A and B are shown apart, each in its own frame.
Chain A
């Protein structure tokens, strides 16, 4: 199945309560699949087409504040429109899942795949000091698996989580193993698991108020401190990454998502030529595997960061090695996709030859 369809299938099986979205290429199949599957007749999941991405993210805010598992999906221009709501959700510390199947920009850009929303996803995106948990799938299987993972992390930390995918993985067809159906949380389970949610004030507790408003500076700073402590804990506990042929590597490729998938082939091509190169693929883009990449700094001679953008994740890779190793970017933009050969050539020219 397609990556976008895998998201929809996984959402129903995971017991998601609500999906709110607005059509945009290249991810409209998510809502189309959900509407065709009619989960409101089976699991009771609500699926609603909103009037805009502004509305859909605010429907998420209402659903998340009710303690429900809610998600949306969109692509770059739509995600930009959601930034206000995402900032409010992060400020109110509510869990939800947002899928961005990235296309090239800026502006209306192209409907072709890109990774040019990395900064927006990992550095906040909207206003105020906040972070999203960001997962980067590089296969259709991971599109399915990361729905549940994203919800688990979102509820663990009461923080919005984003699946940062792109048109390659959204449209790609692969075999997928899907989880068994899980029942949605009952109302009683929601009150027990999410005692903070606005489920109706009971005599046993005070009001539950979902808000990001703290008019006094001291109060706001305390909230900011709590958020920062949470992000620090994520950085310590939730970093996920994958390595491929890194043990004896003299050179490293660091790439995420579809770029990592292509780069894996590039590593094989280089290895055939006797070049000792490995691939490190960050799976969580926030928290970013700084330490893990940094630990290779003494072992390797250079790092290539192939990205389908003008060079965004490279900034975090540079931070990770802190000037100890040469780090170069190789990119294609505007929806152009590099081939394994191109990346392998870039490795030889920019890193080994350079």
Chain B
């Protein structure tokens, strides 16, 4: 059997771990998008040399411990309140880079008001929005973003709009608001997608210097545990079902 130690050799290393990532092992399920997006944020912070001037706001959701992985100062917000917390930080320290990192339950259900109004005020912050169509942390319940017909533990026979309402496209909603300057929908299921998502996150952080309002990067994501699929199946399922409803690309870039 091959020992991992035999594989991890300098000559085999293609990627370096970002210096802005801590050494704490991530608690995410294998195949989860959260870890990939954390890595991209860390790389952007490192490349922009803003580790000392960036403040993150973590959500309640699977990424509640984001602060254990990205080596910057953080606030851990109550469920859904991250955009209000970020508003307080940014208004009082306008020269810092401030971002929220939120799941779909956090951003599009319990925190809808905070999200819409932070966007509408044009706060100069970045919002990273992990849309996995489900409540991952609490064990796979229906989210506001759950697709019609999609199974979750609180809609075991599939989401039925007559009972459960329709999946909500938050990025489309906030793109309508003059307070947002950049709204884009990305994914991290392939190497190409990861590169594009990183570019988008970089732009969303750079935009804070221009003081033109909210930049929101939605990442259509997998939750293989919540979806009860293998990581590979989850990626395929996402491409087949999520992307048609949540098409990738820029919704707004001003």
Residues in A lying within 8 Å of B, measured CB to CB: 17-18, 20, 46, 48, 50-52, 54-56, 58-66, 68, 70, 84-85, 88, 92, 198-203, 207-213
Contacts and interface: CB of A to CB of B under 8 A. Distances in A.
Nearest to A55: B84
Interface residues of B, number: 33
| B interface secondary structure, majority | helix
B52 A61 contact: no
Interface in B81-101: 81, 84-93, 96
Nearest to B78: A88
Given A54-B113, A66-B88, A70-B88, A200 B54 contact: yes
Interface stretch (B31-39, B65-73, B228-236): B65-73
Interface in B156-182: none
B73 A61 contact: no
A190 B237 CA distance: 50
A66 B96 CA distance: 11
Interface in B15-61: 51-55, 57-58
B74 A85 contact: no
A13 to B, nearest CB: 19
B155 interface: no
Interface string B186-199: 00000000000000
A52 B86 CA distance: 15
Q: List 5 tightest A-B contacts by C-beta distance, closest first.
A: A62-B88, A59-B88, A58-B84, A211-B76, A198-B73
A352 to B, nearest CB: 51
A17 B93 CA distance: 10
B211 to A, nearest CB: 15
Given A46-B91, A66-B92, A58 B64 contact: no
A62 B96 contact: no
7 contacts: A55-B117, A58-B84, A62-B86, A62-B88, A199-B93, A200-B72, A213-B76
